[in-house]
Amino acid sequence: MKTNLKRCVALAAFGLALAGAASVVWACSIPVFRYALERWQAEPYGVIVFHKGPLTPGQKKVVEWLNTQAQADAPYANIDVVAFDIVEDAKGPDGAEHPLMKIWQAEGAVDPPRMVLLYPRSFGIEEKVWSAPLSQAAAEKLVDSPTRRAIGKELIDGAPAVWLVLESADPKQNRAALKTLETEIKRLEELIELPPPIDAYYAMEPEGEEEGEGENQEPEEPKGEKVHFPIIRMARSTPAEEPFVHMLLGTEEGLSELKEPMAFPIFGRGRALFALVGKGINTENIEDACAFACGPCACQIKAMNPGADLLMLADWEGLLEEQPVTVADSIPLTTPQRVEPLPGTATVAEAAPAPTPEPAPAASPMLRNLLIVLGGGIVLVGIASCVLLVGRSSRSQ
């Protein structure tokens, strides 16, 4: 009978723990952007250096430089570099054609050596990102660019998300998109407030006070943190941004065919949430993206969350080690164009009041309810089993 009772208690405890797990996940107050910045490693892009025969000393230095950028040092890029000889490596161990040969053949009538940039395997995107003849200048442009550097700096400095505007060839459309984004961002920066850190609550009552002192004084509630969403705009035809433009337009199917202005909210370690295109750059979508970035984190695995990692060169690991974090400074780059308030844009005071956006939920309500129901079911089964087992045991005595 004792053995049966132990089993019942264990079963019931497991059910209660499972039901409680749902509320723990639901209650997490770490903002999504902060959790992503500290925990979500950016997936590596593939850099294939196709060559024929031995590389020259100068070409070897370029490949060595690329490999150096891929090392987990400060700063480093999320890339994997592979040198592939189209003659020596054309056949695999089984004699069949090596899969990388298809990528080389897709380049057409070009001469090696040549670099081809590929999306991370998990994206499931077969098309290349960008390619160019092997050179130091091309390698530097592949790894880093002015706009990516500016985005990385803003994220490291604490911005929940950076809004990157990829401009179209139509200035009128660009102005309309920027005005909508600028106005909505100003409103949200006034309304969204991050919860104060846990330590702030412990500091509400100072230590060392005498008994009775300050009994009638209510401790001051710790203040939350205001947010800032930087906006950076980029022309599609900027030579230094060519790989980055191709990268953005390939993150979602069909983007490269659209010519309207686009807005990409980027958070974490350079993760693009989604693209807002043309009329999709509106109040509702902008609010949803900002609410997601600032909402409570579900502490889920990264693959369960929306977005696509971008190739960035930055010192993300410095955040975890509490060291001064930086972005790359070895490549001389020009400063990208920041967005200034547009003439005629309504300020927060002038704009009509709007309701405070609800933060994105930390976990799906359906998932939470399912866990609670499942946990409760296990508890009930455990109790019923206990009753039956105890009854049987009593009858056998």
Which CATH code is given to the segment(s) 44-142?
Answer: 3.40.30.10
Number of alpha carbons in the 13 Å side-chain half-sphere of residue 237:
4
Work out the angle at residue 24's Cα, subtended by the Cα atoms of residues 19 and 26, and round it to the nearest 5 degrees: 100
CA distance 4 to 20: 24
Averaged pLDDT for residues 186-203:
72
Specify the higher pLDDT residue, 266 or 204: 266
For residue 50, the model assigns a pLDDT of 98
Mean pLDDT is highest, among 7-16, 298-307, 367-376, for 298-307
For residue 224, the model assigns a pLDDT of 60
Percent of the chain with pLDDT over 90: 56
Q: What is the pLDDT of residues 117-162, one digit of tens each?
A: 999 999 999 899 999 999 999 999 999 999 999 999 999 999 999 9
CA distance 307 to 285: 15
Mean pLDDT is highest, among 70-79, 90-99, 176-185, for 176-185
Q: Are 328 and 314 in contact (CB under 8 A)?
A: yes
Axis-axis angle for helices 136-143, 242-249 (nearest 10): 40
Averaged pLDDT for residues 42-65:
97
CA distance 151 to 267: 9
Averaged pLDDT for residues 44-72:
96
Question: Where are the domains positioned within the chain?
Answer: 2-28+365-396, 44-142
CA distance 40 to 36: 5
Q: Are 202 and 271 in contact (CB under 8 A)?
A: no
Q: What is the pLDDT of residues 155-182, one digit of tens each?
A: 999 999 999 999 999 999 999 999 999 9
Residue corresponding to tokens 């929940």: 160
Specify the higher pLDDT residue, 5 or 207: 207
Q: What is the pLDDT of residues 215-263, one digit of tens each?
A: 555 555 555 678 999 999 999 999 999 999 999 999 999 999 999 999 9
Averaged pLDDT for residues 24-28:
43
CA distance 153 to 164: 13
Specify the higher pLDDT residue, 19 or 195: 195
Q: What is the mean pLDDT of the chain?
A: 77
Going by pLDDT thresholds of 50, 70 and 90, the confidence category of residue 390 is: very low
| 367-372 contact pairs (CB < 8 A, 24+) | 367/22, 368/22, 368/23, 368/25, 368/26, 369/22, 371/18, 371/19, 371/21, 371/22, 371/25, 372/19, 372/22, 372/23
Specify the higher pLDDT residue, 40 or 118: 118
Task: Reply yes or no on whether the pLDDT at 31 is more than 70.
Answer: yes
CA 247 to each of CA 42, 149, 215: distance values in angstroms, whole numbers, following the listed order: 14, 15, 60
For residue 309, the model assigns a pLDDT of 97
Backbone torsion region of residue 151, taken as left when φ is above 0, otherwise alpha when ψ lies between -120 and 50, otherwise beta: alpha
Specify the higher pLDDT residue, 196 or 294: 294
For residue 298, the model assigns a pLDDT of 63
For residue 172, the model assigns a pLDDT of 97
Q: 361 CB contacts (<8 Å, ≥6 apart)?
A: 26, 295, 296, 298
Which of 35-44, 313-322, 383-392 has the weakest average pLDDT? 383-392
Give the pair of three-digit tokens for residue 211: 């008994």
Q: What is the pLDDT of residues 292-351, one digit of tens each?
A: 999 887 666 677 788 999 999 998 877 666 544 444 443 333 334 444 333 333 322 223
In sequence order, what are the beta bridge partners of 82? 48
Backbone torsion region of residue 13, taken as left when φ is above 0, otherwise alpha when ψ lies between -120 and 50, otherwise beta: alpha
Averaged pLDDT for residues 359-363:
39
Averaged pLDDT for residues 198-211:
50
Going by pLDDT thresholds of 50, 70 and 90, the confidence category of residue 212 is: low
Going by pLDDT thresholds of 50, 70 and 90, the confidence category of residue 52 is: very high
